[in-house]
Structure 1
Amino acid sequence: MKSLVSDQLAFIRIARDFFNIYDLKEIKNRRIGKGKIGGKAAGMMLAYKIVCKPDAEDEIDLAQYVTIPETYFVASDVFYNFKTRNGLEYTVSQKYRSREEIERDYPKIRAAYLAGQFPDSTLQQFRNLLAEIGTAPIIVRSSSLLEDNFGSAFAGKYDSYFLPNQGTPEENLEALTRAIRQVYASVLSPDALFYRNIQGLEDYDERMAILIQKVQGQRHGNYYFPYVAGVGFSRNPFIWNKKLRREDGFLRIVLGLGTRAVDRIARDYSRMVGLSHPLLRPVTTAADIAKYSQRFVDVLDLKANDVTSVPAHEIISEDFPGIQYLASLNEGDFIKPIFALGRGLDPRQMVLTFDNLLKNTDFVPLMKTILKKLERHYNRPVDVEFTVELIPKYPRPELKIYLLQCRPLSNREWAADVSVPNNIPIDEQVFSSTHLVPHGIVERVKYIIYVDPIDYSQIASNSVRMELARIISKLNKKLEGENFILMGPGRWGSSNIDLGVRVTYADIYNARMLIEIATSKNGATPEVSYGTHFFQDLVESNILPLALFPDSAGSVFNRPFFEQSPNALPRFLPEYATFAKHIRVIDVPDVTQGKFLRVVMNSEKNKGLGYLHQY
């Protein structure tokens, strides 16, 4: 197992109870080259073996519902041979260069990788693989030895490519080898190298294997895509309602290729599902449900032999198989299920809610059981990527879940052992919260952008308030790459400019946290963004939201720190110096003799604390 799958001790301790010699032979038979199959492939195989092994604690016999796509492996030694054959060993030293040099050099390095050639023997193996696959669409996925491990997951740092695979044999071969070369080049991308630097992995000789899989899905006209795709977390990291139970898990699901579930797409939304209460949304009104739903579907265009995005109304119709499980009807004042087909339903009236899938199939109990079982055996929270096949049956359809990836969450990502310190001197405490606290730690906050809620409420001119939003947008770009948080009146992003600064996602996407300060005014406390569509933007961007209630008994809010610290706004935006009385930029190390802000939040205890910390 060590030479073929993984030599990580944490992985082996789990895998030895699930893999057998026949599994290893099957992997070897589907492997091109020598060496390991990489972390992503190993994680998928282990998850599948765990899920399918009978377990007394399982509520459902998962073996009959769960599978993996047809899969092949390009082992890590092929990467080594490719670099040697094409004289690319010099690129190994890139990881030790400065940020500016890495960004400057990468286009040339990528071009050199794309110009590289594989030996004839490897090309013939690729031809044989494509002949076996036939004309089925495929995906070429990174599977480095650093991916999906127990310490640093490298999620999203390396590239993957969908290939429709509809050309001539030589065209398909060229598309496959180009995709593999692109994945190899992504090892040296700035994002990947910066992440390795942050994780202290510069000296590790990264080895890239490749995972080649048939795309699970069905053909609909000229398009090919899965019925449902998504990502699931065994612990819900986003509690937007007190009814939600974190331990029951969380999903983001879409119609079509899973790119829209894994990566946030501008102006489009996946369906967020808290598995303890799957029909409980972050938004409630019919207008918001329609507005913040999926509008485009990522598909493989078999005729054009390309990947594309298509408006949802061009895909869905009353003839689309299982449409009643995916869509609801927008009646203007309310959203209703599709009770009957054959009435000439207008696709433009349909909204992708997935309500009947969540309510009237086995999908929710299946996903809860899968996620709980994987967490139980990994002994830590996990996330998975998956697709769903709907098999028509009466009175309810059957489902087949295809596991694509399983990733154990590191303590940095999940912070399961977060402990909010109780011995911080009061003069080093900056703020605290005991209201709907998320889970996690934000380290080394260097800058705080602060809009004073009391001052904001006293600004008479809405044009001044709108200008504050523009200043924040400029600071968001100016501070890119820095650890900064935003603090201001609840609620950020509100359409009612009296309640908060009217920013959009595009104005705040570089921030690590968005903190809403709800102060009492005329005896009333304004509502913060929990439960609104703006919160969904934060969730999908990994920007931790936190609500502060300074007037609540027992809460900490160090007002002198915010009001008396020197304002660095003129340093960053001298042309907006006149707005310094309304918006402050606090350089935390500069005003605290080298300390940074550290924010620790434990959702289980509903307690959060921001305090000054010497690193």
Structure 2
Amino acid sequence: GSLGGKGRGFRFLHSVVESQNLSNIMPELSLVVPRCFVLATGVFDRFIEKNQLLLPALNAKDDAEVTQLFAEATLPDDVVAALERYLSSMTKPLAVRSSSLFEDAFLRPFAGVYDTYMLPNSAAKVSTRLDELCWAVKMVYASTYKQEARRYSDATGNRAEEEKMAVILQELVGSDHQGHFYPALAGVANSIDYYPAEGADPTHGCMQLALGLGNTVVDGVPAVQHINLGKPDHPYGPSEDKLPISALDLYYAAGFDAKPTDAFVTLPADSAPFVTFPRVARAEVAPEVASAHSVPGLTEDVHGEKVVFHKGYGEVPAARIEMTPSVVS
């Protein structure tokens, strides 16, 4: 099967880092690619066929029904065995990420449409960690047929029944801080800054930074510093003393009715290692990316206001690669 869009991207990044010897070209930076294990789209096909899920998933009335269908289904035995072998040597927290055929397409990317799950992977028993991992894989598969994904497929001229999903198991970067796992910073960079600070050039690009894990950037939570790369001393967003920290509780009560999503916690800003951001500046929408709209029924003084419709997206931070991606088809 295919590695999916995101999986192909990881393989490409790995080849670029190696072939261009980037670590030596820029020794002041630690340029690394996440270590990962891939369940190719062939596993998805086998899972859907084994459990006869295609028509029930397409006919489901809401996301809750889709979730229940996939939670009650079972992965192929050989896939479960492969995941168990993987966990026998992997005890660090994991991100279980989507990598669909449509994802990361050049003209119609599906960034942020499908689900990612972060697992503490800290239970003492491999069987407990395996149950959590199998659940997360099935939930990523389920997101293929959720309402948001299907609406986006329709809007971009794709067909939900033709989509196939690979899954990436990626080691998370970070460290244990008294039972809470998180990196100092996480973020995403863009080549165009759609929200530059006053006087900043939108073509210089931007980055959005958050404390802890990257889900706050991906989910569009207002807990992010937005920084224009051409004017990094003029960010905007909450000051560093008000930025919460997204973390995984390594000792959450696994099992029973608990799900790995219950391990997500938000810590106060003063829990983090000391991080300083530049002073906050005022944001101004770039005229190049805004459009004037007149909306019937609104008062005259707001007609022609510049607006931007935007949805946040991003990735969790990279971790050092120790091997080329492993693939199960």
Q: Could you state the TM-score of these two structures normalised by the residue count of structure 2?
A: 0.80
Number of the residue aligned with 2:214: 258
Q: Is the 8 A contact 1:271 1:293 kept in 2?
A: no
Q: Is the 8 A contact 1:40 1:143 kept in 2?
A: yes
Number of the residue aligned with 1:87: 52
Q: Distance in 2 between matches of 1:117 and 1:111?
A: 12
Is residue 2:19 matched to residue 1:66?
A: no
Aligned with 1:165: secondary structure? coil
1:197 is matched with which residue: 148, 154, 171? 154
**Amino acid aligned to 1:85:** K
Alignment of 1:37-436 (within 5 A): 37-51=3-17, 53-54=19-20, 61=26, 65-91=30-56, 93-94=58-59, 104-133=61-90, 135-167=91-123, 168-202=125-159, 205-242=162-199, 244-265=200-221, 268-282=222-236, 290=239, 294-304=242-252, 306-313=263-270, 315-316=271-272, 320=273, 323=274, 326-327=275-276, 353=277, 355=278
Q: Distance in 2 between matches of 1:246 and 1:51?
A: 28
Q: Distance in 2 between matches of 1:515 and 1:174?
A: 52
Q: Distance in 2 between matches of 1:192 and 1:257?
A: 24
Number of the residue aligned with 2:299: 451
Return the offset for 1:448.
Answer: 4.1
Q: Which string of whole-angstrom CA distances, capped at 9 and with x for unpartnered residues, describes residues 223-271 of structure 1?
A: 11112110100222223322x2333220001110001122222xx4211
Aligned with 1:261: secondary structure? helix
Return the offset for 1:121.
Answer: 1.5
Q: Is the 8 A contact 2:97 2:169 kept in 1?
A: yes
Return the offset for 1:62.
Answer: 6.6
Number of the residue aligned with 2:289: 439
**Amino acid aligned to 1:259:** N
Alignment of 1:464-475 (within 5 A): none
Q: Distance in 2 between matches of 1:449 and 1:254?
A: 38
Return the offset for 1:59.
Answer: 12
Q: Is the 8 A contact 2:17 2:32 kept in 1?
A: no
**Amino acid aligned to 2:229:** L
Return the offset for 1:51.
Answer: 5.0
Q: Which string of whole-angstrom CA distances, capped at 9 and with x for unpartnered residues, describes residues 501-526 of structure 1?
A: xxxxxxxxxxxxx926xxxxxxxxxx
CA separation of 1:117/1:282 partners in 2, compared to 1, >3 Å: closer, same or farther? closer
Alignment of 1:474-553 (within 5 A): 487=302, 515=305
Q: Distance in 2 between matches of 1:69 and 1:129?
A: 16
Aligned length: 297
Q: Return the structure number with greater relative CO, CA threshold 8 A, min gap 6.
A: 2
Q: Which string of whole-angstrom CA distances, capped at 9 and with x for unpartnered residues, describes residues 370-389 of structure 1?
A: xxxxxxxxxxxxxxxxxxxx
Q: Distance in 1 between matches of 2:88 and 2:160?
A: 39
**Amino acid aligned to 1:164:** P
Return the offset for 1:52.
Answer: 5.2
Q: Distance in 1 between matches of 2:81 and 2:220?
A: 38
Greater strand share, structure number: 1
**Amino acid aligned to 1:50:** V
**Amino acid aligned to 1:295:** L
Q: Distance in 1 between matches of 2:138 and 2:160?
A: 23
Q: Distance in 2 between matches of 1:255 and 1:238?
A: 20
Q: Distance in 2 between matches of 1:59 and 1:236?
A: 30
Return the offset for 1:156.
Answer: 1.1
Q: In structure 2, list runs of 5 or more residues that go unmatched.
A: 255-262, 280-284, 313-329
Aligned with 2:235: secondary structure? coil
Return the offset for 1:181.
Answer: 0.7
Q: Is the 8 A contact 2:191 2:203 kept in 1?
A: yes
Aligned with 2:118: secondary structure? strand
**Amino acid aligned to 2:206:** F
Alignment identity in percent?
A: 25
Q: Distance in 2 between matches of 1:221 and 1:203?
A: 43
